[in-house]
Structure formats: structure tokens, C-alpha cells
Amino acid sequence: MVQIRQAGPRIGVEVSGVDLRTLDAAGFASIYQAWLDYNVLVVTGQDLTIQEFLEYSRRFGTVLPHPSKSTRHPDLPEITVLGTGKFNADGTLNQAIYRRGAEGWHTDGAYDDVPFKATQLYALAIPDTGGDTLFASGYAAYDAMPQRLKQRLDGVLGAFTYGGRSQSQALLNPEDRDRTPAMHPVIRTHSETGRQSLYFDPGKILSIQGAEEAESDALIEELTALMIQPEGEYRHKWHVGDVVIWDNRCSYHKAAGDYPPEQDRIHWRTSIKARA
Ligand SMILES: O=C(O)CCC(=O)C(=O)O
Ligand SMILES: [Fe+2]
């Protein structure tokens, strides 16, 4: 029996009792709506081939290769593999792979003119301990902004790049580095729900357009401090066979990055944009 259960107070919804390989259009419509309402959709207990995962991902939009070429699946560029190749040839831990997504709260693809609508992960191997993914609601962040800040940022754009102010671009090939910043409204109206959220990523934002450097830095600091609201959080503890998709237009996430490195934590990952 299909069960849909809210997982956190404002974000996160868990669906069990479905087989994604045979889910019909009506079944998909109901879980898609649950995803729009709760921004992070967890479907448990799946047993998918890589092709089935790709096909299910395509029900959400167009699946595109991620700019990190070295972590793409060799035969299927639309699939990124997380957690493999974690050790360098000399046996040391490759931090860029081990800590991918763990450097801080972020939203995927803010460096692109059209950021990824969604990111989806399918869990293939999960460590005994640690390795959770944390999520937070951008709607809750918007609601927490003081009126003064909402007014100051109304219609204002932020400039975003892959490496942001720290310029960390380790997972990019040299030819893909240092692209022109992408500009996005900091207060974003969601194209499907019509709701307003704080579109923000402290690791990717360079500046607030039109603000002097000191004010821009102060605004970035203020937004960083308020973006994570406790009632807007959901922490996902993974099991093999979980499929989790999040909405990058209205949520933030980060990997806990705290699991024993000698254990496997492996996911297939798809990056999804809205259909043109
Ligand atoms: O591995 C995770 O838990 C999330 C990594 C991440 O940030 C991503 O895949 O976009
Ligand atoms: Fe991410």
C-alpha cells in the first residue's frame, strides 16, 4: 500500500510501498505534488538498474550531465557517481570526493544561468554510521527575514560562481573553471508553487548586485546566519535503495561528511532541469 508521510515539520516527505519502475501517471502526479509541497521527497525500498533510475529521473524534467566531468559515469554522462575513487594512488583520502557536498549548506547549480531544478540520489552503499544528508527550507528562511531585509533585497540580484569567494573548484577540469558569474534574484518566486523563498548559497555567492562591497558582505553574512531555520530542517538517514530528490529552487542541503572513510558510501546522482 502506498503511504505518504511528512518527514519534517516544514520540509521532507517519505513515500513507501511504491515500485518506481511501474508507477503510473496518477501515482507519479501525487508524489510530484508532495515533492512540491515538501521540497525533499524520499522514496524507500527501491531496486533500480542505472537505466531505471535515469528513466525515473526524467519524469521530473531533463537530465543533464553535471559539470564535474571526472565524476561522471564513464558510459552514462548524465549519471554522476558519488563516493567512488575516494583514495588517491598514494593511499591518501581524496577530500574533494570524500567531502563533496559537505563544505557547507548550498543549492546545486547556482553558478548556472538556469540552475538545476532538482537533484536526485539513489543509495547503493551506505556506511554503518554517519553519512546523513541535511536539508533546509528556503521558504522558512524567507519567512524568517526581517521586513527591512525583504525590502532591501526586493528585486535585487546576487552574483554566483562555482567556487564562490573561496574559489574552490577542485572537481572541475581546468577548461571549466572561472566562468562568468550567474545572476539570480535573491528573493525567488517559485515557478510552480508561486511561493517566495530565499535563494542563497554562501559558498557560491560573490556579491549582491548594486551594493557597495562592505554592505554586500554584511548582507551575505546576515543571510548566512538566518538561512537555516530549525523548524525548516530535515535530516535524512540513508538506507540502501532510498531514492531522494530535492528542489534546488527552494531548499538547501549539505552532506554530513562524517562517516568512516574506509566504508563505502556510494550514490548514483542525476541533475535535472525544467523541460524547455
Ligand atoms: O552526498 C550527499 O549527501 C549530498 C551531496 C551533494 O551536495 C549533492 O549531491 O549535490
Ligand atoms: Fe549538493
CATH assignment of the domain containing 27: 3.60.130.10
Yes or no: say if 134 and 235 are a contact pair by the CB < 8 Å rule: yes
Say which amino acid occupies 11. I
3-class secondary-structure state, position 116: coil
CA distance 218 to 103: 21
Rounded Cα distance, 266 and 121, in Å: 10
Stretches in the chain below the pLDDT threshold 50? none
Name the amino acid, one letter, at 187: I
Which pLDDT belongs to residue 175?
A: 75
pLDDT at residue 7, rounded to an integer: 96
Q: Whose CA is nearest to atom 3 of ligand 1?
A: 255
Select from 64, 82, 234 the residue to mutate for testing ligand 1; criterion: most ligand atoms less than 8 Å from CB.
82
3-state secondary structure of 31: helix
Contacting residues for 36 by C-beta, under 8 A, at least 6 apart: 192, 193, 247
pLDDT by residue (tens digit) across 96-151? 999 999 999 999 999 999 999 999 999 999 999 999 999 999 999 999 999 999 99
In testing the pocket of ligand 1, which one of 117, 119, 242 has its CB within 8 Å of the most ligand atoms?
A: 119
Contact 132, 257 (CB under 8 A): no
pTM here is 0.96
How many structural domains are present in the chain?
Answer: 1
For 20, the domain range is 3-273
- With a CB cutoff of 8 Å and minimum separation 6, the contacts of 215 are 208
**C-alpha to C-alpha distance for 144 and 242, rounded to whole angstroms:** 31
Q: Which candidate, 132, 253, 272, places its Cα nearest to that of 201?
A: 253
Going from the Cα of 164 to the center of ligand 1, the distance in angstroms, rounded, reads 18
